[in-house]
Amino acid sequence: MSLEASLAGAGVSIVHAAVPGRLRLRVRGLKGVSSLKRALEGALRGAHSISAANASVATGTLLLLFDPRSAAAAIVGAVEDVLLRYSAGKLELSAQPRAAPWHALRVDETLKRLRSSMQGLSAKAFTRRRRRYGENVLPAIPARDRMEMLLEQFQSLPVALLIGAAALSVVTGGVADAIVVVAVVALNAGIGYVTEAQTERAVRALSQHAREGVPVIRDGKRQVVPVESAVPGDMLDLLPGVIVAADARIVAADGLAINEATLTGESSPASKSAQPLDHRNVALADRANIVYRGTVVTGGSGRAVVVATGAATEIGQLQNFLSGASAPDTPLQKHLAQIGRRLTFLAGGACAAVFAVGLLRGFGLFATLKNAIALAVAAIPEGLPTLATTTLALGVREMRRRRVLIRKLDAVETLASVDVVCLDKTGTLTFNRMSAAEVSCDGAAYRCDNVFSPPPPGSALRRLAEIVALCNEAPEDEKDPHNGSAPSATETALLDFAKKAGVDVRRLRRDYPLERVSYRSERQLFMTTLHSARRGAKLAAVKGSPEEVLGLCSHAALRNETVALTAEMRRDVRQENARLAGEGQRVLGVAWRAFRGENPPPGGLVFLGLVGLADPLRPGAAELLGALRRAGVHPVMITGDQRLTAAAVARALDLCDGGDPQIIDADAIPMLEHMSKDAKIPQVFARVTPGQKLEIVKALQRAGHVVAMTGDGVNDSPALKAADIGVAMGSSGSEAARDVADIILQDDRLQTLIPAIRQGRATHANIRRAIRYLLATNMSEILLMLLAPAFNLGQPLTPAQLLWINLVTDVAPALALGLEPPHDDVMNGSPTPTGDDVMDARSARTLAREAGFITAGSLGAYLYGVLKYGLSPRARTICFTSIVAAQVLHALGARSEKHGLMSPDLPRNPTLSGVVAGSLALQALTMAFPPLRSLLGVAPIGRLDLAAAIAGAAAPLVANEFVKLTGSAGTEANAARTI
């Protein structure tokens, strides 16, 4: 049967529609048919209130995300309509251009196959292709299904044990116990579902941020268009800072370098060219003439013709695979899951011992088995990984209130361990608001202040101003649209200086139209622009590193003449450069040359002078560095400026706490290869290229340091990606930096880095507090249920009471401890060591002591009840009341391992206070509310009995507080400290 015939009767059936706005359909005829997949996705995405359409040829299903206000029946009808049109041949396929080994084709062959040219697409061609190919958008990764999330709450071993306990209760006639078990299952599932749903929303919100436009060539003109409008055949204009909008074949390149870390994982920029490759089977990372969507131009320039958009791009195909995958657990979650598994076996062994002791004491098989199973459920801390996720999410929410955007949950963990912060100078420690401060030209120095007078036309100073206005991509009018990525602060400052010098920038650029640009790169620390001049002449304008520009010059402008550069004149230029740099200015050399022909001869430029640019320090930058040092974090400044400029800025920032900074030049960076963790960390790295920033970060990491890197520009993105924590500026930073960063400072206030580290350490400490609380209280239940039968005191708690304890004393107090505000001394210690083990030997001793005190108090209250009432419900009620209150009160003591409960150093935690009060009120309800009292097997007790229960609950808290006050826990607290 033909494909058309098989599709003529095609229909759809609903697989899943429980979640509003989310519909999964099974489409007959879709399995294995790629053309139908493309047709469905192209026709449905953006139509009928559908925001995302993702068809799978592997499973034959179609996932649709749409406006929840739309009826599912209407959406199904739209799908059926598309199938009918497709089977009748009336639906234009949104297929991509036929796949080809683009890297093996010559440029002319590529353009011919794509029916494009170096002038780009015409407006009509773009409109046709936009209609055919659809929007250049990546497949949406659907959120976790809410129903699946709820069902997952019932798929754990503890829940299976609970259901087994309920079944045994019914078999043995304990219907009331079974009801309690089912209620506990439902409540635990509800709490877990709500917690995970809130965390899921918080995590997904982290990736939402606006994207900038992309420069393309259409009808021979450069224009900036939305990323979504790029189509196959479009000509991308690749400039520094541009994020590549689609997969494309390079057709022209000039020192082009691309950071492909988002796709290949390699942080080092890749050099690109337009030359075809000899072999068709070339690995993705080795295709030097292809650029991929989501990668970033870090140097040079070029042009590339789009060969694939949207889901057909390499990153789009990768994201298709991710649609059915979940995010991996953070390192801490994995660590806690491992602890949970170990404790499960430990609790299982203890419960087996309880079961054996119960049988030996003659308590009956079913009663003893129910008790053992209930104890296992209550004792196993099944919520540890969820607790970690929730606490991390709460930490993320708190930092958002401070306008610090955390894009990954594990970044909160890593913040606690950061011991080195690499600070990019420009735009991070400074405002990146450059202004020309001083110009050295024609044997004189000119201050560019309010009394600066425009030089006369024809003078060397006027020529210098004209050259910096030509070798410049900043628009002459701020209101004018720019031709690509945003101009740098340096270029804007130079243009302002040219205007102040009396240059009519618009007229100058009209008289000397730009022909081509050679951008600054790691191999070429200067920028060159070529311009047409009168009578067929050409003009080359150059600005950049003073040493490199001076090396290209054979002559200099001096007293309205062009003279040969002598050794003495070169020495004078270098001395003047040192003077300006020593004042903390960024210094640029400026040169030019007039010539005829297509290309300027190498060298032979005329040196015009030096421009010193000032960039004010951000307020509070010096205080930030001091705060980092006090927190045990080493601040390191990285700059592309020369050594003298770097030293002046370091002194202004008091980077070395009153001492002279240790400065490493770029040439000495390879010596860091074998640096050890004990070696002294340099405070300043000068004359650093983007690639060398990456080398510095990796060298520090190899030495065992946990490194945070701050930056705002495209040249920072490789190092931001490689660092343990990448920190980008949210307002002034480039999109490339924001895309690879883990943390974004939304208001550009570098001082918020301190609260971020503080919150990271506090969050890690809160997780530790919550874990200690859970383990100590669960261990106390095991000890109580093991010791009482061993001393022939019967079963102190019923299965229903054990489940109630699990419900009331586990989740809420632990989460409230996760909201503990940062303690005042959290930034006075050293960073948290990576791989810090919550359950080391000394921590285990602390836990054993705390659990022992709770067990002793509850066992003492139970012994009082047994002596007074015998092995009766009243004795169990006293024990039950005592252990619940003891565990809840222990949450107050778990706030700190060294500060007493009444210490003024402890901040207020109203959430924990409310949880403690609420939990105690619920426990009181078990005695006051008859139906609940009946379900839990609680008997009425007198005031003296209640006083005994309260005494048994308060005694452990008093004992643990006494240990803190006397300093007996000092050694343990130092070893397993609150971070």
Q: Please write the tens of the pLDDT for every residue from 904-945.
A: 888 999 999 999 999 999 999 998 898 888 888 899 999 999
- Same-fold call for 3-95 versus 404-431+617-748: no
> What is the pLDDT at residue 62?
87
The helix/strand/coil state of 531 is strand
The beta strand positions in 30-98, using DSSP E, are: 50-56, 61-66
**Burial 627-638, CB ≥16 within 10 A → b, else e:** bbeebebbbbbb
Is 639:615 a contact under the CB 8 Å cutoff?
A: no
Residue pointed to by tokens 């894009």:
407
* Residue extents of the structural domains in the chain: 3-95, 404-431+617-748, 435-614, 758-975
What integer is the mean pLDDT of 655-661? 76
**What HEC string does 783-813 produce?**
HHHHHHHHCCCCCCCCHHHHHHHHHHHCHHH
Closest C-alpha among 851, 856, 873, 855 to residue 945: 873
Q: What is the mean pLDDT of residues 777-781?
A: 88
* Helix, coil or strand: residue 136: coil
Residue 463: the pLDDT is 95
Tokens 């877990």: give the residue: 192
pLDDT of 861 reads 96
The single-letter code of the amino acid at 92 is E
CA atoms of 714 and 485, how far apart (whole Å): 11
**What pLDDT, on a 0 to 100 scale, did the predictor assign at position 768?**
85
Residues taking part in catalysis: 424
Helix (H) or strand (E) holding 586: strand 586-595
What is the three-class DSSP state of 838?
coil
| Separation of alpha carbons 601 and 503, rounded Å | 28
Tell which wins on pLDDT, 334 or 883. Answer: 883
The continuous run of DSSP H or E covering 517 comes out as strand 514-518
Cα–Cα distances (Å) from 61 to 2, 16, 144, 316, 636, in that order, read 21, 10, 17, 18, 53
Q: Cβ–Cβ contacts within 10 Å for residue 480, how many?
A: 10
Q: Torsion-angle region of residue 544: left (phi > 0), alpha (psi -120 to 50) or beta?
A: left
**Residue 212 clears pLDDT 70, i.e. is over it:** no
Q: What is the CA radius of gyration of the chain?
A: 35
Q: Which residues contact 90 (CB under 8 A, 6 or more apart)?
A: none
Most confident of 528-532, 661-665, 784-788, 818-822: 528-532
Structure tokens given for 346: 């430990």
Find out whether 488 and 241 touch, Cβ atoms under 8 Å.
no
Q: Cα–Cα distance between 427 and 733 in angstroms, integer?
A: 8
Q: Tell the burial category of 194 from Cβ atoms under 10 Å away from its Cβ (0-12, 13-18, 19+).
A: exposed
Task: Look at domain 3-95 and name its CATH class.
Answer: alpha beta
**E strand or H helix at 932:** helix 930-936
Q: In this predicted model, what pLDDT tens digit does every residue of 314-346 receive, in sequence order?
A: 877 766 554 444 445 556 666 666 676 676 677
CATH architecture group of domain 758-975: Up-down Bundle (1.20)
pLDDT digits (tens, 9 = 90+) for 76-100: 888 887 887 776 665 544 456 655 6
Answer yes or no: pTM beyond 0.75.
no
Residue from 588, 577, 633 nearest 613 by CA: 588
Give the confidence band of 437 by pLDDT, cuts at 50, 70, 90: very high
Give me the amino acid identity at 265.
G
Q: Please tell me the distance from the alpha carbon of residue 757 to that of residue 415, in angstroms, as a whole number.
A: 5
Handedness of CA 961, 964, 969, 972 (dihedral sign): positive
Q: 435-614 domain in CATH 3.40.1110.10? A: yes
Are residues 581 and 642 in contact, defined by beta-carbon separation less than 8 angstroms? Answer: yes
Place of tokens 């210094």: 587
pLDDT for 52-74, tens place per residue? 788 887 678 888 888 787 778 88
- Specify whether the CB–CB gap between 945 and 846 falls below 8 A: no
Q: Which amino acid is at 275?
A: Q
To which CATH superfamily is domain 404-431+617-748 assigned? HAD superfamily/HAD-like (3.40.50.1000)
Q: pLDDT tens digits, residue range 533-554?
A: 888 899 999 999 999 999 999 9
The two three-digit tokens of residue 713, written as one number: 């520009």
